[in-house]
Structure 1
Amino acid sequence: MEKAKIHLLPAVLAAGIMSFSGVLIETAMNVTFPTLITEFHISTSTVQWVTTIYLLVISIMVPFSNYLIKNFSIRSLFIIANLFFIGGLIIDFISPTFLVLLLGRFLQGISTGIALPLMFHIILTFTPLEKRGGMMGVGTLTTSIAPAIGPTYGGMLTSILSWHYIFLFLIPVLLLSLALGLYAIPTIKIAESSSLDIIGLLGIGLLFSGLLVFLNQMGTLKSFLPLLIGIIGLFIFLHQASKAKEPLVDIGVLKNKVFVLFLCGFLVCQFLLLGISFVLPNFVQIVAGQNAFVAGLIMLPGAAIGAVLAPISGRVLDKYGAKRPILLGLTLAATGWLALTILLNQPYLLSLVAGHVFYMLGIGFSYSNMMTSGMNLLSQEEYGDGNTLFNTLQQFSGAAATAIVASVINIFQESSDNYLRGTTLGSQVAMVILLVLLILIMIACLRHFRTRK
């Protein structure tokens, strides 16, 4: 009876708007990095913490949200997340220093870390199985449509007003989300509660913090200490996951090899999405000499196509199964990515747009369907742990991708006697690294679908 009280579509959209806003800021701020580097007198590897701190907090919050969803009503969690986000927007709008800017992003990370698993929890709990692909596509649309307008939005405001207004103009959007959620999400009593695995949460915090700092300082001697911290965190988390009575995340779902395959495929898609959102806008500004608005505009056609395809590809999966959309998507994505890598040698803007559009066609068919296919393999009791793994690793992989490409580009910029040539070569090397991951997951999926009975 209680399930019928929720208004499913507006509830998904209400939670999705917060995730949308977080990704919008993330991609909008990417085109402002050259401006921030000049304004705050920081390096390329430092400025990417605007994205990394946000994704790091989400990576820690999503597993914690697995506990929160089991112990608190989804309505209360939604309201808290919304208020945190609005607070972060206000802080970033008035931020006079880089550290204050990071504080606002920290609060927005807490909010999105609650909202993202909450949205998929609502979908998995209240949507019939035969309609889940389409609804998962709608959920993914709220986050995937953000890159379609984020770079253009950020570039336009940075060029006309200031990067501060990126945050101000989102406050009405969050107020809309709050009103929609108050209408659509009822107070549903919690059937049973669980205890918090504090040691496991500490392990996750050490794991992701250590690994991200290591990636940010990659290539330097001081990177070994954070790597050691990350390894210690991993051992703590794995020990708790296997020994604790109520672990933060039950990693038993990883025994399902096909689930792991789709999880890895989903993470590779996220790697590429965040990687290109960093590489392309900065390349267009630094090498091609365009302003932030043009850099953002170049991302618009491809990202819009990827966003529109998300719910459509979900319906294709519901009707025909996972094989067709996933294999088609990975093939198109690999072709477009290879073209983009080559085209960086001759940076004609229209050719970069075409390559990005082709790549995003592939992402539109494969990205959300990877998650849907993986989650459909689990029982209802395993949804929470599967959802946590997908969303936690999604955010960490995004942070890792940003840190890796920023570090690679920074290394080539500093080692080259020509800054523009170093930026070009560094961008190509970073994209080749991600292309190898995409090809590997494409081969693995092809083998799976060929051998499946």
Structure 2
Amino acid sequence: MGTQLEAKNPKSMAFILMLGAFIGLFGETALNMALTNVMEDFSIPAPTAQWLTTGYLLVLAILVPISALLMKWFSTRQLVLGALVISLAGAALAALDINFAVLLIGRLVQAVGTGLLLPVMLNVVLIIFPVQKRGVVMGIVGLVITTAPAIGPTLSGVIISTLGWSYIFWISALLYLLLLVIGLPKITNVSEITKPKIDVLSILLSTVGFGGFIFALATMAEEPFSSVKVWLPLIVGIIALILFCIRQMKMAQPMINLRVFKFSMFTLGTLIMFLSILIILSTSILLPMYLKGALLFSAAIAGVLLLPGNAVNVVMSPLVGKLFDKFGARYFAIMGFIFVLIGNMIFLTTISATTPVWQIVVAFMILFFGLTMTTMPAQTNALNQLPRELYADGSAAMNTLNQVAGAAGTAIAITLFTSGQTGYLVNFPNAAQPEILAAGVKYAFYFITGISAVGFIGSLFIKKKQLTEKAH
């Protein structure tokens, strides 16, 4: 099969892929708002419940690197069909609400579908739109990647309060079904199928590496670092990742071409994207718990309170995309991280069991105002550095690290939240539950603020020049 790079109607094709990715990424955090309900329904503690989010991200982190290989073996249509069918099956299974194990399995199956769809979306968008239009399109892609997880708690808050949490999955399943029926005919094959040799050892090393690393981070919420359950998978994961990287550099046809990291602006852009996703996902698991557990709002109200922050993102993303083509990434990233730091400083100084809720809403809006300026420009600037033949590898490497960031952000946030509560209880044994919970959330925000500072320092090194020469 030869290279077929013409999409009949690129806009509708991009829309279908983005909608599919949006539903999957919405699923990433939609259950955050329902964690307290799920914990009550199945009588499980927070560290167990958080596996619904961490497990989802764990599967994404394992699958996304393999996707670069799959895109060279299967046509765009085959991958999209497979991704939507698997996602539909997972959502339907989770919706049955039988017990915690079935719910978790449904989540993991849905994650497999999302893990296939995300890299395909990014790669297809890079192929079907010319460089000069890419800022606007990537602005919309950035909107999907950041809004879906951020808006998850808001939409699901309303669904939980009106229908019950299992309807999060029924609605997702219905949307997947609609996409299959209406959307699939509009998908054309645009990727080149080269059928490279499948290296089983690379797949194994990447699975053990990413899996072990994230499993260890997530287990830290329940176990101390000295526990075998934490340090053993962490060490095994790190060794496997090092071996994976060494193997990729030596192979003629690597699973992920790590040579993309030889482009310095690609590496820096990926790092900034990584930190931004870390901030988005750790915030999106902590704030719903804080609004419900410490400030005692219902799921629906808590969801609505997070809406202005998400609205900022929706309004800003296409705007930043348009202006990016004019100004490049540097100014956006620096300004963005200044706002992210301000937002986090407000959280750090105001979070308590008696905080006026408007302060939290304003801080969240400032945070997202900044994050919208950092994510898309960093991602587009990074991918624009690469020659065309490295797009699939670049987007696979970046997507993999984004999923690792999401899983790590969620796991670290819950771990720090738990240890912050424990520390507060030692000093104030008679404290009320809302005060304990607020103290845990506040403690986790020290970490998020630190990450923001690192991002700001990184943004200072972005070069103004935007490389658009391509290897055609």
Q: TM-score range by the shorter chain?
A: over 0.9
Mapped pair 1:383 → 2:391: yes
Alignment of 1:33-432 (within 5 A): 33-147=35-149, 149-187=151-189, 190-218=192-220, 219-220=224-225, 221-222=227-228, 223-345=230-352, 346-415=354-423, 416=425, 417=429, 418=431, 419-432=433-446
Equivalent position of 2:470 in the other structure:
none
Deviations 1:43-88, CA, capped at 9 Å, x for gaps: 2111111111111111111111101111110011001100011101
Mapped pair 1:4 → 2:11: no
Q: Which has the larger displacement, 217-226 or 119-128? A: 217-226
Q: Does the CA-based 8 Å contact 2:269-2:379 persist in structure 1?
A: yes
Cα offset for 1:245? 2.9
TM-score for the superposition, normalised by structure 1: 0.95
Task: Show structure 2 runs of 5+ residues with no match.
Answer: 468-472
Q: 1:94 to 1:121 in 2, by over 3 A?
A: same
Q: Give the AA of the match of 1:119.
A: M
Q: Give the AA of the match of 1:428.
A: K
Q: Which runs of 4+ in 1 moved over 6 A?
A: 450-453
Structure 1 CA distance for aligned equivalents of residues 22 and 310 of structure 2: 13
Structure 1 CA distance for aligned equivalents of residues 314 and 202 of structure 2: 35
Cα offset for 1:442? 0.9
Equivalent position of 2:453 in the other structure:
439
What secondary structure is seen at the aligned counterpart in 1 of 2:165? coil
Q: 1:191 to 1:25 in 2, by over 3 A?
A: closer
Deviations 1:426-451, CA, capped at 9 Å, x for gaps: 21221111211211221222244589
Task: Show structure 1 runs of 5+ residues with no match.
Answer: none
Corresponding residue pairs, total? 453
Q: Which has the larger displacement, 268-277 or 321-330? A: 321-330
Q: Does the CA-based 8 Å contact 2:330-2:464 persist in structure 1?
A: no
Deviations 1:245-300, CA, capped at 9 Å, x for gaps: 32211111212222211111111110010011011110111111111112211111
Structure 1 CA distance for aligned equivalents of residues 418 and 293 of structure 2: 13
What secondary structure is seen at the aligned counterpart in 1 of 2:306? helix
Give RMSD over aligned pairs: 2.0
Structure 2 CA distance for aligned equivalents of residues 181 and 280 of structure 1: 35
Cα offset for 1:412? 2.7
TM-score for the superposition, normalised by structure 2: 0.91
Structure 1 CA distance for aligned equivalents of residues 388 and 158 of structure 2: 45
Q: Which has the larger displacement, 354-363 or 176-185? A: 176-185
Q: Does the CA-based 8 Å contact 1:413-1:426 persist in structure 2?
A: yes
Structure 2 CA distance for aligned equivalents of residues 153 and 253 of structure 1: 37
Structure 2 CA distance for aligned equivalents of residues 452 and 342 of structure 1: 38
Q: Which has the larger displacement, 292-301 or 319-328? A: 319-328
Structure 2 CA distance for aligned equivalents of residues 148 and 206 of structure 1: 29
Cα offset for 1:3? 2.9
Q: Which has the larger displacement, 202-211 or 181-190? A: 181-190
Q: Which has the larger displacement, 255-264 or 272-281? A: 255-264
